[in-house]
């Protein structure tokens, strides 16, 4: 990586990689001839303040999942970094109830487990 923000991008990529590795998202195995190796790319983004200075640098490791074959590369469980809006609405509704014990916890990464269609 080159450019004025290269070090920030490297740090963001390292943080994303460490997070994924810490969560056990993948498992390193010996490659067999029948295995399909998926390509990966880094999606990098800068968030800027209105004056143009860098506010935050974000990165996401994106695998070429469109090349996966069911029952060869994956089975019934798919991981997706999304949130259900009905869950967000429910949490917001519960947060205004003074009797509900609500506590904020900072999360930089979350995965939702879904069944593939």
Residues 30-80 pLDDT 10s: 988 888 888 899 999 999 999 999 999 999 998 877 777 777 777 776 666
Q: Give the H or E element holding residue 41.
A: strand 40-48
Q: Return mean pLDDT, the chain.
A: 81
Strand pairing category for 40-48 and 112-115: unpaired
Name the band, by pLDDT with cuts 50, 70 and 90, for residue 9. very high
- Contact present, 46 and 57 (Cβ < 8 Å): yes
Residue 94's pLDDT is 82
Rounded Cα distance, 79 and 115, in Å: 9
């Amino acid at each position: 990586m080159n450019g004025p923000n290269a070090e920030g991008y490297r740090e963001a990529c390292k943080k994303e990689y460490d997070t994924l590795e810490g969560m056990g998202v993948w498992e390193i195995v010996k490659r067999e001839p029948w295995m399909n190796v998926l390509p990966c790319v880094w999606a990098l983004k800068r968030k800027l303040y209105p004056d143009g200075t860098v506010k935050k640098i974000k990165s996401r490791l994106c695998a070429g999942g469109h090349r996966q074959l069911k029952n060869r590369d994956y089975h019934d469980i798919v991981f997706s970094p999304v949130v259900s809006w009905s869950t967000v609405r429910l949490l917001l509704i519960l947060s205004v109830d003074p009797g509900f014990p609500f506590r904020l916890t900072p999360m930089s990464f979350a995965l939702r487990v879904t069944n593939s269609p």
